[in-house]
Amino acid sequence: MSLKEKLLSDMKGAMKAKDALRLNTIRSVISAIKNQEIDLKKDLQDEDILPLISREVKKRKEAATLFEEGERLDLMEKEKQEYVILQAYLPEQVSEEDLRKRIQEVIAETEAVGMKDFGKIMKVLVPEFKGKADNSLIKKLAGDYLD
């Protein structure tokens, strides 16, 4: 079952269960997928859909942080719940420990020294961890090792 089919199936399940939060969250992702398909004039495959879901997760995470700063705890909680719902559609996230280990390996392989070689290691790491780790986390950890 493709990711798009799973989303549609889960949307139907949320309708039957009258789970408004889950339904609206999944609908927003399906809408983003359809908009992308219209823009590109082609059907999206799973590898094209994962970055869209990652982007939606990132939006929810940022919104929750902003609502927390604004002391809107009700809205923050809603964003966090949507974040959890969407997170289930992404591949299992890589642990920070495994990520650190791989960053050190890539630095050794590319013989990177200092921030001038930052792009060289990011070129290897970003495609490798696409959908499995947040790019901002990769960037932060890589920066720690290259200082």
B/e letters for 115-132, b = 16+ CB within 10 Å, e = fewer, are: eeeeeebbebbeeebebb
The domains of the chain are located at 3-87, 96-146
Question: Where does the pLDDT of residue 5 fall: very low under 50, low under 70, confident under 90, or very high at 90 and above?
Answer: very high
Rounded (10°) CA dihedral 30, 33, 34, 37? -160
CATH class belonging to 96-146: mainly alpha
- pLDDT tens for 53-89 read 988 998 999 999 999 999 999 999 999 999 999 999 9
CATH class belonging to 3-87: mainly alpha
pTM of the shown model: 0.75
Same fold, 3-87 and 96-146: no
